[in-house]
RNA sequence: GGCGCAUUCGUCUAGCGGCCUAGGACGCUACCCUCUCAAGGUAGAGACCACGGGUUCGAAUCCCGUAUGCGCUACCA
């Protein structure tokens, strides 16, 4: 399949949804796996729901997660335009062709009549749908409508009998009775084509070979196939992907942070982790691998691995992925990515000096295996960045370690020894602590823990010797002094 | 209501008739490592394969029914 062409066709009606992006990911992996083309098309035919910033945000989200495309509204391509509203004339052209061949017709019914119709159908427990009044309009009545200049929509004249079949790449052999399919409106009274027509025409004209889209489209595929056939075209392969659900197997609601895709970026997730995670929701490489680089994802991707049932997005697992990727990052890279989060939390100034950047790197080196998101750096390493008289002491930590007998004496002793050290590094610091343990004949923890609380304010964190080393002698001594004032005499 | 799709550990999934007394991962528990927290390592608990019928020498795997969930049923996508 070297001529594979797939398209991701979002409608710009709001913030990018995780489900949308996952579909884009599948498109992209499939295109790249086959050496085909990835096309971005913006389906903005719904002028009422249009959100002017949505397309940009979509592009930003796609780029963030690492997806690129070969043709699109931003870069053009051989099948331009890629903004669906710019293709209006083309859609109309084919709508008229459908009318000419008797596969579509103008419908003059008012919205009011349609609403009334639906209401009675619902009341009587009948299947809802258009009653095809205008399809069988007497010629003279039709002429009257035309002369009066009445507005109209264009509807598909669906076959009243027969069955349509196709092979869905995910769900396998599908078959549908045509008589159950409604005479769908394909052109609105405002002259814009509806999805069914627009997408079908564009997909064909853009030579799309595989239509990868959400399973909500499964039920309308018969309409699309009917359009393809009516126009004498060959339908593409349909690939209907199942939905991503929220906790409780409910639809991923806007309430869930994970539904809005770029929240992942804001929360400090790495794009490569998100890509890996999202790829594995509803798709499996077929083996036991969990950690796959973008390259490996592309290499392993196949339609056969697509799963036929919806999946719940498990944020705990995403967190694990993120931790894995954070630990695999080089130090400079991690520092670079964490910096914006530090700045945002006010721990680091806007344009830090090279010295500060250096210090940051050594801090992050100590915390790398302790964080799961970039945002965690701020909470876990704040004491490194706060002034020596500003970092906070954890109340419980103080209560536990500063009240024991002899703590003040040990802390003061350590303070003096550290001050006297000619060479100040993790190794010599450890020697001091060890010496203290021996001198006071106490358990290691009885020296180590109070010192840790003294210099960091808490009981958890990196190894004490490295911690003090990074903090530096002057700051450590100041902190020890500050802690001494808190120790019960 | 009609039509369609789905149903394996809490979660993501492997499985495409015998290799399954159902495998992996996240999470959970215990232990090891250790100055704490992590990370890492080891072990464990966790699924009567939704339920009921078939088909077959043999079914998680094929067929039918039921239940449940989801989707579609718009001049939204």
DSSP code per residue over A400-426: HHSSSTTHHHHHHHHHHHHHH-SS-SH
CB of A47 nearer than 7 A to strand B: no
Active site residues of A: 254
CB A169 within 8 Å of CB A241: no
Measure, in angstroms, how far nucleotide B49 C1' is from residue A250 CA.
23
A151 closest-nt by C1' vs CA: B75
Q: Quick one: tokens of A454?
A: 């003294």
- Give the whole-angstrom CA distance, residue A287 versus residue A145: 63
CB A242 within 8 Å of CB A168: no
CB A302 within 8 Å of CB A235: no
A177 closest-nt by C1' vs CA: B3
CB of A147 nearer than 7 A to strand B: no
| pLDDT 10s digits, A77-109 | 999 999 999 999 999 999 999 999 999 999 999
CB of A440 nearer than 7 A to strand B: no
Quickly name the fold that domain A395-484 has.
Answer: Arc Repressor Mutant, subunit A (1.10.10)
User: What pLDDT score was predicted for residue A383?
Assistant: 97
Strand B-contacting residues in A 461-480, CB cut-off 7 angstroms? 461-466
User: What pLDDT score was predicted for residue A250?
Assistant: 77
Peptide bond into A81 cis (omega under 30): yes
CATH 3.40.50.2300 matches A5-82+244-312 = no
Strand B-contacting residues in A 373-432, CB cut-off 7 angstroms? none
- Give the whole-angstrom CA distance, residue A12 versus residue A3: 28
User: What pLDDT score was predicted for residue A302?
Assistant: 95
Closest residue (CA) to C1' of nucleotide B73 is A128
CB of A19 nearer than 7 A to strand B: no
Same fold yes or no, A5-82+244-312 and A85-241: yes
Strand B-contacting residues in A 442-461, CB cut-off 7 angstroms? 444-445, 448-449, 452, 459-461
User: What pLDDT score was predicted for residue A489?
Assistant: 55
Measure, in angstroms, how far nucleotide B69 C1' is from residue A249 CA.
8
- Give the whole-angstrom CA distance, residue A435 versus residue A427: 12
User: What pLDDT score was predicted for residue A199?
Assistant: 97
User: What pLDDT score was predicted for residue A249?
Assistant: 77
| pLDDT 10s digits, A237-252 | 999 999 999 877 777 7
Measure, in angstroms, how far nucleotide B72 C1' is from residue A5 CA.
27
DSSP code per residue over A322-389: HHHHHHHS-HHHHHHHHHHHHHHTTSS-SS--HHHHHHHHHHHHHHGGG-SSTTHHHHHHHHHHS-TT
User: What pLDDT score was predicted for residue A2?
Assistant: 61
| 3-state secondary structure at position A104 | strand
DSSP-assigned letter for residue A316? H
Strand B-contacting residues in A 228-287, CB cut-off 7 angstroms? 242-243, 245, 249-251, 280-282, 284, 286-287
Quickly name the fold that domain A329-378 has.
Answer: Helicase, Ruva Protein; domain 3 (1.10.8)
Q: Quick one: tokens of A85?
A: 């509203």
Closest residue (CA) to C1' of nucleotide B40 is A369
- Which bases of strand B sit closer than 7 A to a protein CB? 1-8, 10-16, 23-27, 35-40, 69-77
A126 closest-nt by C1' vs CA: B1
Residue-range domain boundaries for chain A: 5-82+244-312, 85-241, 329-378, 395-484
CB of A328 nearer than 7 A to strand B: no
User: What pLDDT score was predicted for residue A127?
Assistant: 87
A122 closest-nt by C1' vs CA: B1
- Give the whole-angstrom CA distance, residue A58 versus residue A13: 10
Give the CA angle between residues A326, A256, A282 to the nearest 5°. 65
User: What pLDDT score was predicted for residue A74?
Assistant: 96
What is the separation, in whole angstroms, between the first and last Cα of chain A? 79
ipTM score for this prediction: 0.95
Measure, in angstroms, how far nucleotide B9 C1' is from residue A31 CA.
35
CB of A365 nearer than 7 A to strand B: no
Q: Which listed CATH number (3.50.50.60, 3.30.365.10, 3.40.50.620, 3.30.300.160) goes with A85-241? A: 3.40.50.620
Collect the ranges in chain A with pLDDT lower than 70.
1-2, 253-255, 488-489
CB of A94 nearer than 7 A to strand B: no
CB of A332 nearer than 7 A to strand B: no
């Amino acid at each position: 399949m070297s001529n594979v062409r797939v398209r991701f066709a979002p409608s710009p009606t709001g913030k990018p949804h995780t489900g949308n992006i996952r579909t884009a990911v599948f498109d992209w992996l499939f295109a790249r796996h086959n050496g085909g083309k990835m096309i971005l098309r913006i389906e903005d035919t719904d002028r009422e729901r249009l959100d002017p910033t949505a397309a940009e945000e979509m592009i930003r989200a796609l780029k963030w997660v690492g997806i690129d495309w070969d043709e699109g509204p931003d870069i053009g391509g051989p099948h331009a335009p890629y903004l669906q509203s710019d293709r209006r004339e083309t859609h109309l052209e084919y709508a008229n062709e459908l009318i000419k061949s008797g596969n579509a017709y103008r419908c003059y019914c008012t919205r009011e009549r349609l609403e009334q119709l639906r209401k009675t159908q619902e009341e009587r427990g009948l299947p809802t749908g258009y009653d095809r009044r205008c399809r069988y309009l007497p010629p003279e009545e039709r002429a009257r409508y035309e002369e009066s200049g009445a507005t109209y929509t264009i509807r598909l004249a669906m076959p009243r009998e027969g069955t349509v079949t196709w092979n869905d790449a995910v769900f396998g052999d599908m078959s549908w009775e045509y008589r159950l399919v409604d005479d769908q409106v394909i052109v609105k009274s405002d002259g814009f084509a509806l999805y069914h027509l627009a997408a079908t025409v564009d997909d064909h004209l853009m030579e799309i070979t595989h239509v990868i889209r959400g399973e909500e489209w499964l039920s309308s595929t018969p309409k699309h196939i009917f359009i393809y056939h009516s126009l004498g075209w060959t339908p593409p392969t349909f690939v209907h992907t199942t939905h991503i659900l929220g906790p409780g197997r409910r639809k991923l609601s806007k309430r869930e942070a994970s539904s809005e895709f770029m929240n992942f970026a804001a929360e400090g997730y790495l794009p490569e982790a998100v890509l890996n995670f999202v790829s594995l929701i509803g798709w499996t490489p077929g083996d036991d691998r969990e950690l796959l680089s973008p390259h490996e994802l592309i290499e392993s991707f196949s339609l056969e691995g697509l799963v036929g049932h919806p999946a719940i997005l498990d944020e705990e697992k995403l967190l694990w992925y993120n931790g894995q990727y954070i630990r695999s990052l080089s130090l400079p890279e991690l520092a670079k990515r964490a910096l914006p989060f530090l700045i945002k939390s006010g721990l680091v100034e806007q344009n830090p000096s090279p010295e500060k950047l250096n210090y940051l790197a050594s801090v992050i080196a100590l915390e790398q295996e302790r964080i799961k998101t970039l945002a965690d750096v701020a909470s876990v390493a704040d004491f490194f960045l706060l002034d020596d008289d500003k970092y906070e002491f954890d109340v419980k930590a103080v209560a536990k370690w500063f009240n024991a007998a002899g703590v003040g004496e040990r802390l003061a002793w350590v303070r003096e020894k550290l001050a006297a050290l000619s060479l100040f590094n993790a190794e010599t610091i450890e020697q001091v602590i060890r010496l203290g343990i021996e001198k006071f004949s106490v358990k290691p923890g009885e020296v180590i823990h109070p010192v840790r609380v003294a210099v960091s304010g808490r009981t958890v964190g990196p190894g004490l010797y490295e911690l003090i080393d990074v903090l530096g002698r002057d700051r450590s001594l100041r902190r020890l002094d500050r802690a001494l004032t808190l120790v019960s005499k």
